[in-house]
A and B are shown apart, each in its own frame.
Chain A
Amino acid sequence: MSKPSLAEWWVNRHGSLYTRLGGEPAVDAAVDIFYRKVLSDERINHFFEGLDMEKQAAKQKAFLTFAFGGPNNYTGADMRTAHARLVEAGLDDSHFDAVMEALGATMQELNVPANLIAEAAAIAESTRNDVLGR
């Protein structure tokens, strides 16, 4: 991402979002719930057809860690390359929106306070252009 992320700004002001959300155990709880929502959503589950579930779950975990402002080494370029093939296959804003919905719903299910949900959503949202190759 070309500008400092929201997470970095919050670390300076309030301490890491990732820690406030509960760190790794929180991500672990979220991964299964999030991935289940994604696989059950007819708008996006076809992108996951035929993929190795465990490898995908590991990627979901990495994505959620990133969205929660946790330790990760993703660059904008990584997100771009990772999704380039899908963009060619028709990945668009509606699919990105569906994943954002799954993220929000997952956090609600885990009783995360609304303000923290908004922070995590903002971090995830910041990847939209990289993911969609714009």
Chain B
Amino acid sequence: MITIRYGHQAFEPAPGETVLECLERGGVPIHFSCRSGLCQTCLMQATGGQPPAAAQAGLKDSLKLDGHFLACICHPTESLEVALPGEGKGALAATVRGLMRLNEDILQVALECHDPIDYRPGQFINLFRDPELGRSYSIASVPGADDHLHLHVRRLPNGRVSGWIHDELRTGQTVQVRGPAGNCFYVPGQPEQPLLLIGTGSGLAPLYGIVRDALRRGHSGPVRLFHGSRQRDGLYLVEELRELARQHSNFDYVPCISGDDVPHGHAPGRAEAVALQQVPGLKGWRIFLCGHPEMVKTANRKAFLAGASMKEIYADAFHVNQAA
């Protein structure tokens, strides 16, 4: 007997019923629109059990891997525990194990979760200053390669959480986190596929995780990373990335400076402009874009027009919460 669990409730789908119909019948208001498996409004995640592949048609690879599915076309073949995307994870405690300055504005925070979490480099967690005040930070660490979970936190002007992290957080302190969430991560299975990664500022965090994850898993196709900032001191991990490029012949790293003072060994211009100049045809590429929302939006459009398929573009824009 198949059951669909949502929160504390359990429902039995009638014969031929979809998950959407079953939940609606049970009084659960799930958003929907086309009811044909196209618009993705009814996207949900199976946190237990495996949804049928037909119910995942059209979703990005990373969403499929994480058990996401479209409720309006899901005819379950086994019992499922379902949740709205991002809703599945409760809050947990983590201890700060290290605080390391990466540049003037960016601090690496190393966390040890009391209950180790299963994350993929490039996903994000929410870190809470207090139960009502949290912000999302992308994960730069790679399980197995790094001792702890690493975040790169950029200090924002008047940042209520970033300011607290930079000025008050101490090693040994316990913090509350929620997650992981997000679909911006490396999906194994196509080791030859060329990967293009473009980031600005602390957008390097998820990309640093994704690049190392891909290389550790034996990715053999080209992996090209472009990290940009207005000035040289906005960049970080430059030497580490150059060393990584020396160690892996398929990995190429280009630090980009959009301001006037472009030192030797850096490319002049905005990261996405340099990237598209150097890689003009993107058909077949998988693209990761992280950082400034304007860069992400522009690069998304340009990458698509340069031939990248919509499904291959993974964008993670770092929006600044205006209430700071």
* Chain A bound to chain B: yes
Binding site for B on A (CB under 8 A): 24, 28, 31-32, 35-36, 39-40, 53-54, 57-59, 61-62, 65, 71-74
Q: B301 contacts A73, CB within 8 Å?
A: no
Q: B39 contacts A58, CB within 8 Å?
A: yes
Whether, in the assembled complex, B35 has its beta carbon less than 8 Å from a beta carbon of chain A, the answer is yes
Min distance, Cβ A70 to any Cβ of chain B, angstroms: 8
**Bound CA–CA A50/B93 (angstroms):** 38
Q: How many residues does chain B have at the interface if contact means C-beta atoms less than 8 Å apart?
A: 15
**Bound CA–CA A26/B40 (angstroms):** 19
Give 8 closest A-B pairs by Cβ, nearest first: A62-B38, A57-B310, A58-B39, A71-B36, A32-B309, A58-B40, A61-B38, A62-B34
Interface of chain A, main secondary structure: helix
Whether, in the assembled complex, B253 has its beta carbon less than 8 Å from a beta carbon of chain A, the answer is no
**Bound CA–CA A72/B304 (angstroms):** 26
Q: A58 contacts B305, CB within 8 Å?
A: no
Q: A40 contacts B305, CB within 8 Å?
A: yes
Which residue of the partner chain A has the closest CB to B57? A24
Chain A residues with CB under 8 A of B34: 62, 72-74
Contact of B310 among A24, A35, A40, A62 (CB under 8 A): A35
**Bound CA–CA A57/B309 (angstroms):** 10
Mark interface residues in B1-36 (1 if CB within 8 Å of A CB, else 0): 000000000000000000000000000000000111
With A36-B305, A58-B39, A59-B39 already in contact, the answer to whether A28 and B58 are too (CB < 8 A) is yes
Min distance, Cβ A63 to any Cβ of chain B, angstroms: 9
Min distance, Cβ A109 to any Cβ of chain B, angstroms: 13
Whether, in the assembled complex, B300 has its beta carbon less than 8 Å from a beta carbon of chain A, the answer is yes
**Bound CA–CA A32/B34 (angstroms):** 20
A-B contact count (CB 8 A): 42
Mark interface residues in B290-319 (1 if CB within 8 Å of A CB, else 0): 000000000011001100011001000000
With A32-B309, A35-B310, A61-B58 already in contact, the answer to whether A53 and B36 are too (CB < 8 A) is no
Q: B36 contacts A32, CB within 8 Å?
A: no
Chain A residues with CB under 8 A of B304: 32, 35-36, 39, 53
Which chain B residues numbered 35 to 80 have a C-beta less than 8 Å away from chain A? Answer: 35-36, 38-40, 57-58
Which residue of the partner chain B has the closest CB to A29? B309
Which residue of the partner chain B has the closest CB to A74? B34
Chain B residues with CB under 8 A of A65: 36, 38
**Bound CA–CA A53/B308 (angstroms):** 13
Chain B residues with CB under 8 A of A36: 304-305
Chain B residues with CB under 8 A of A61: 38, 58
**Bound CA–CA A54/B301 (angstroms):** 10
**Bound CA–CA A53/B304 (angstroms):** 10
Q: A32 contacts B310, CB within 8 Å?
A: yes
Q: A39 contacts B36, CB within 8 Å?
A: no
Chain A residues with CB under 8 A of B301: 39, 53
Min distance, Cβ A19 to any Cβ of chain B, angstroms: 15
